[in-house]
Structure 1
Amino acid sequence: MLPSLVQRITQFLIPQQTYTTTRFHHLYSTLSIYDNIPKKLKKFERKPLVTSINELKRRGRQRRKERQNVKEIILQSPENGLLVQKLIPVAKQVYAARSEVLSSVSRLVNFIAIYSCSICGDVHVGDPPHKIKTCNVRGSLSSKEHSWVKGGIEHVLPLVESFHLYDRIGRAVSHNEMLLVDRIPAIVELCIQAGVDIPEYPTRRRTFPVYCVAGRIIDFEKRFPKDIYLEKDIEEYGFPYKKKRSDQDTNSMEMHCDDIQAVAVRGMKAWKKMCTGASKLMEKYAVQTCGYCPEVQVGPKGHKVRNCQAYKHQMRDGQHEWQEATINDFVPPVYVYHIRDQQPGKPLVNELKRYYGMLPAVVELFSQAGAPVEKIYGHTMRDVVVPDMDEEKWVV
């Protein structure tokens, strides 16, 4: 009699407890790893290669073999100096989308607070800042809590600069020309090389392709355009300086809209268009990045400026270790913590940090302003029910 009574009581109690525990167990176990988030590399680690080292060696052997034969090597656009005509509209869209993203962010930062840690550089979007103890760098507090200060646009959209090249297939910028060549945003330089004409940054547009014979580039066109005179506007190094760098970029245009949600929706669409278009351009127009530092150079080869201060830069005499760049090197996303339906006035706590999702800071800014988040961030958002502090013990 007693065993059967215990069995009936057990059958009545277990399902409810099992539901409570498995609910959080399922939510955490299936989404325990942040997908598609770039790993934060250590100082001595190199960025992963886009193309395998064996493929790079094979291409190098093929190029050396072709140079031994004195014959013309057929080059396709843009390697031959000509533009890819079908990508010119894409470049113009990316340039316009970048201006709209910066305009939207510059307006939203007046309504949504942005914080940055003065020690480690972590970023948080929203008020108040989180209490998660992840500040673990030299000089941080013993409690590993962040020292928050007010941030701005530069913390949400970090600026990545590149040397502006007058001739993209010409020689690389040397170390002595470091101060003679302007540095502009890398995405603007990519748009210029892909077909966007900006008067402040002149560039060479060829009408006839260059020729490659035995590995040497032969150009039969004139070196400089007719409207630029050698004795007045060209230094002996070969880089034109006939321009005035404008302090006001085209991205500073004002967006006359009082609806913050509408501004966020437009900014989110522009962000997606900018990233998608930049990825398409990078498939044809090469972008180089240093394997150990954030330096980026738009063009088929990197520059020769010896300003690398990363791991073992002494052995390279300050030269960068160039490799193929990815979209994360070109437009670096700053990931911040994200939860759905955050209660105002209550910060994120350290005990529940494994239940919080992550989003790029600019996407989180648009999301808090009311813009819907794209499905491509579904794996990192982790939009689940975050347990309360007293419910954490039920999580398996």
Structure 2
Amino acid sequence: MFFRGVMLSRQVPNIRYHYEMSVEKSGATSILNKLLKLSCQMFSTSPVDTDLPRKLKRDERKPWVTHITELKRRGREERKERLLVREKVLGPPENGLLVKELIPVAHEVYAARSELFACVSRVSQSITVYTCSVCGEVHVGHPPHLIRSCNVSGSLASKEHTWEIGNVEHILPLTESFHLYDRLGRAVSHNERLQVDRIPAIVELCIQAGFDIPEYPTRRRVFPLYWLSGRLIDFEKRFPKEDVPGKDISTYGFWQKMKKPAKDVKFVDVESDHLQGVAARGMNAWERMRSGASKLMQKYAVQTCGYCPEVQVGTKGHRVRNCQAFKHQMRDGQHDWQEATVNDIVPPVYVWHIRDPKSSEPLINDLKRYYGMLPAVVELFYQAGASVSDQYTSIMREDVAIPETDEQRLVV
């Protein structure tokens, strides 16, 4: 009764299997085949038993975006190309030039990010956000849940959370990257870690894709680079005097610039809209920012560490030895770089989904298998009245019936 959504989803593979077997055994379309086909169409909805997002273990590596076999094949081809003395024509952005079609996308992503921060700040004033002071888990809405999932060093023996009021940084965590004056230049060394500014990774991605910020100058090439025997050759012989590498880059105080993204809020007027309208604008900005960032990352490379949240926007990762993840001693503190995804530069913080925001009953631990999850920013806008897109249907578990409080003893 209570798990009927999951039961129906589990029947779909069996029905589809018998239908395919019957088609193989008999070429003619019988009445049984028609009934089975109709049953498949009736029950083939979006899967409700999709696994909920989980945190990676300490010794678990992030999934590869490109399979390791394909990466090895590309490496072998590059080594063969280096042995041949010939020129290879590179296209943008590999040759240092911008992709003209993606310049408007970079502006759109930056504008969507500013609007998103403004909407989250406005909605969080009406909907309470909680965070655990021990493990850092986030909950959106009042009252906070009673699920005992605080299982870190220093937590209570009952694994209950110690809640406190959160803020925007818990909904939208900040992922930083070193700002590169020349995105095709050499990587940031360990000794330069305090001389190069760190800015939000998605802002650095927009800058490298064509969005100009005076505080963070970047080199815009006029002539392309050429690839010859495995080396990039730059034929630009001279640069304007004011275009000096390292100019206007402060060697101190870069940690104070972490508050700069909040300044974008004042340029977006959301105070005049009602709460549901602000939530709808914020949901749209969230989707536009992520979809635009995905388009940029198809052309502009972004690297992430396979074991820690460190991100570097550019063709290669930096050489700063600040990794403290699994087996960092074997790497001398250096990061194990791999191709990044949009979840690495805009990490979604998953929280437990509350179906009825007006309910005063908290989520309990005994029924956690029936609850769904959503990114914290999506859950925040959902509770404010915004509609949720279909891509989150599988993890919301709307098709699963939650038992009532007096029916818990009947749950198997």
Instruction: Assess same fold via TM > 0.5.
Output: yes
Q: Is the Cα–Cα contact under 8 Å of residues 166 and 240 in structure 1 kept in the other structure?
A: no
Match of 1:240 in 2: 247
After TM superposition, the structure 1 = structure 2 runs for residues 128-277 of structure 1, keeping only pairs within 5 Å, are 128-222=143-237, 224-228=239-243, 238-241=245-248, 248-249=260-261, 250-253=263-266, 254-255=268-269, 256-277=271-292
The gaps in structure 1 that reach 5 residues or longer are 1-20, 231-237
Deviation at 1:73, TM superposition (A): 1.4
Instruction: Indicate whether 1:388 and 2:401 are aligned.
Output: no
Match of 2:112 in 1: 97
How far apart are the structure 2 equivalents of 1:147 and 1:39? 21
Q: Is the Cα–Cα contact under 8 Å of residues 175 and 304 in structure 1 kept in the other structure?
A: yes
Count of residue correspondences: 365
Match of 2:4 in 1: 26
After TM superposition, the structure 1 = structure 2 runs for residues 347-366 of structure 1, keeping only pairs within 5 Å, are 347-366=362-381
Amino acid across the alignment from 1:239: G
The gaps in structure 2 that reach 5 residues or longer are 10-46
Instruction: Indicate whether 1:371 and 2:386 are aligned.
Output: yes
1:40 corresponds, among 47, 55, 58, to 55
Q: Is the Cα–Cα contact under 8 Å of residues 257 and 263 in structure 1 kept in the other structure?
A: no
Amino acid across the alignment from 1:374: S
Secondary structure, aligned partner of 1:344: coil
- Which shifted more, 289-298 or 106-115? 106-115
Amino acid across the alignment from 1:241: D
Q: Is the Cα–Cα contact under 8 Å of residues 188 and 319 in structure 2 kept in the other structure?
A: yes
- Kindly, what percent of the aligned residue pairs are identical? 64
Secondary structure, aligned partner of 1:145: coil
How far apart are the structure 2 equivalents of 1:349 and 1:65? 60
Match of 2:121 in 1: 106
TM-score computed with the length of structure 1 as normaliser: 0.88
Secondary structure, aligned partner of 1:279: helix
Cα deviation per residue 1:142-197 (whole Å; 9 max; x = unaligned)? 11111111111110000000000011111111111101100000000000000101
How far apart are the structure 1 equivalents of 2:328 and 2:140? 35
Q: Is the Cα–Cα contact under 8 Å of residues 196 and 249 in structure 2 kept in the other structure?
A: no
Deviation at 1:339, TM superposition (A): 2.8
Secondary structure, aligned partner of 1:284: coil
How far apart are the structure 2 equivalents of 1:106 and 1:90? 24
Secondary structure, aligned partner of 1:359: strand
The runs of at least 4 aligned residues of structure 1 exceeding 3 Å deviation read 28-35, 222-226, 242-250, 392-396
How far apart are the structure 2 equivalents of 1:259 and 1:280? 32
How far apart are the structure 1 equivalents of 2:337 and 2:248? 27
Instruction: Indicate whether 1:63 and 2:63 are aligned.
Output: no
Change (3 A) 1:242 1:352: closer
Match of 2:44 in 1: none
- Which shifted more, 133-142 or 318-327? 133-142
Q: Is the Cα–Cα contact under 8 Å of residues 339 and 383 in structure 1 kept in the other structure?
A: no
How far apart are the structure 2 equivalents of 1:34 and 1:117? 26
Cα RMSD, aligned residues only: 1.8
2:328 corresponds, among 309, 313, 323, to 313
How far apart are the structure 2 equivalents of 1:381 and 1:81? 43
Change (3 A) 1:213 1:147: same
Deviation at 1:76, TM superposition (A): 1.3
Deviation at 1:34, TM superposition (A): 3.8
Secondary structure, aligned partner of 1:121: coil
Amino acid across the alignment from 2:177: S
How far apart are the structure 1 equivalents of 2:94 and 2:386? 40
